[in-house]
Amino acid sequence: MKKTYSLPTTNYRLTIGWLYPDLMSTYGDRGNITVLQKRCEWRGIKTKILQINHETTDQELNTINLLFGGGAQDKEQGIVIESLRKKERALKNLVENNIPCLFVCGSPQLFGKYYEPSEGKRIEGLGIFDMKSIHPGPKKDRLTGNIAARLEIPGFTNTLIVGFENHGGRTRLGHSVKPLAKVLKGYGNNGEDGTEGVIYKNALGSYLHGPLLPKNPEIADWLIQKALEVKYKKEIILSPLDDTLAKKAKEMIAKKLGVKL
Ligand code: GLN
């Protein structure tokens, strides 16, 4: 007999903003949106996905409870930044008002002070993250491969995160931001100082594709919990989900990379 499952229902609703899905989604980054949607759905939290493009208005941006941006190659970054600049004030407000955000690879570079692409002019960023990124040129190695790191998010310190990185840009953090994680294996922000990603308020930047959230559901739940807490102005405790498969995947990668869970 076919089993039927009934999902719980709540009155919670979240609008998830997704930056330029057609221009910014490398190495499976769109999987992060699926994870956010599913982990909400399994807990009875309704979601609406707002795909952000050139036409999106500030009024629409103001409805966002959780913001996601994926990676992009240098060429697409040059196109996106022109459009992002028109939305600069609304996007800054979201971050300053503690809206949780996740930006992967090419998008945190654009939310930083600047990104110097492999060829051509420096791209001035939105300056929301105090960080600078420089691509050392087409002849220099890209920072590519599996990566393992330990989270630095308060409450999650020491949690292992794993993913796949592929970037030319080298990022250096300024004093008003903190790294998202400390690298155990792989390159992270620049392959030199052991930092991976960035945290400012509830906005996270990371170089981890893979995509990030299916392999590291702790981060997905952190984002969902923050989004609900900011919207509903109360403490939220999310019901646990069965993450056996994600845990097994992480175990396997940890073993392969020779790091402890
Ligand atoms: N263009 C950027 C770099 O190479 C971002 C790449 C990406 O998003 N995967 O650093």
Helix (H, G, I), strand (E, B) or coil at 212: helix
Helical (H) or strand (E) element with 225? helix 217-232
State the closest ligand 1 atom to the C-alpha of 72, by its place in the atom list counted from 1: 8
Q: Which residue type, as a one-letter code, is found at position 34?
A: T
Nearest CA to ligand 1 atom 5: 106
pLDDT grade for 6, boundaries at 50, 70 and 90: confident
Tell me, in angstroms, the distance from the centre of ligand 1 to residue 169's CA.
6
pLDDT, tens only, 129-165: 999 999 999 988 999 999 999 999 988 988 999 999 9
* Amino acid 19: pLDDT: 98
Q: Return d(Cα 253, Cα 45) in angstroms, integer.
A: 31
* Amino acid 1: pLDDT: 64
Q: Return d(Cα 222, Cα 3) in angstroms, integer.
A: 31
Parallel, antiparallel, or unpaired for β 203-206 and 198-200? Answer: antiparallel
Task: Tell me the C-alpha to C-alpha distance, in Å, between residue 40 and each of 46, 118, 204, 227.
Answer: 7, 39, 19, 11
Query: Tokens in use for 43?
Result: 């807990």
Is 209 designated active site?
Answer: yes
pLDDT, tens only, 12-42: 999 999 999 999 999 899 999 999 999 999 9
Choose, from 105, 135, 167, 175, the residue flagged as catalytic.
Answer: 105
Cβ atoms of 36 and 68 within 8 Å: the answer is: yes
Task: Tell me the C-alpha to C-alpha distance, in Å, between residue 48 and each of 12, 41, 60.
Answer: 11, 11, 12
Tell me, in angstroms, the distance from the centre of ligand 1 to residue 211's CA.
14
Would the pLDDT of 223 be above 90? yes
Residue identified by tokens 């792989």 is: 186
State the closest ligand 1 atom to the C-alpha of 117, by its place in the atom list counted from 1: 1
State the closest ligand 1 atom to the C-alpha of 73, by its place in the atom list counted from 1: 1
Regarding the beta carbon of 225 and ligand 1, being less than 6 Å apart is answered no
Cβ atoms of 195 and 178 within 8 Å: the answer is: no
Task: Please give the average per-residue pLDDT across 70-74, as a whole number.
Answer: 95
User: How far out from the chain centre does Cα 206 lie?
Assistant: 6
Regarding the beta carbon of 105 and ligand 1, being less than 6 Å apart is answered yes
Q: Return d(Cα 160, Cα 151) in angstroms, integer.
A: 6
Residue identified by tokens 């945290």 is: 199
Tell me, in angstroms, the distance from the centre of ligand 1 to residue 241's CA.
32
Question: Alpha-carbon dihedral of residues 22, 24, 28, 30, nearest 10 degrees?
Answer: -70
Regarding the beta carbon of 72 and ligand 1, being less than 6 Å apart is answered yes
Residue among 24, 107, 109 to mutate when testing ligand 1 (max atoms within 8 A of CB): 109
Regarding the beta carbon of 170 and ligand 1, being less than 6 Å apart is answered no
How many residues does the structure list for the chain? 261
Could you tell me if residue 30 is left (phi over 0), alpha (psi between -120 and 50 degrees) or otherwise beta?
alpha
Residue among 23, 29, 77 to mutate when testing ligand 1 (max atoms within 8 A of CB): 77
Is 105 designated active site?
Answer: yes
* Reported pTM: 0.96
Q: Return d(Cα 34, Cα 136) in angstroms, integer.
A: 34
CA 185, 188, 194, 195 dihedral sign is: negative
Tell me, in angstroms, the distance from the centre of ligand 1 to residue 74's CA.
6
Q: Please, what is the average pLDDT of the chain?
A: 96
Tell me, in angstroms, the distance from the centre of ligand 1 to residue 105's CA.
6
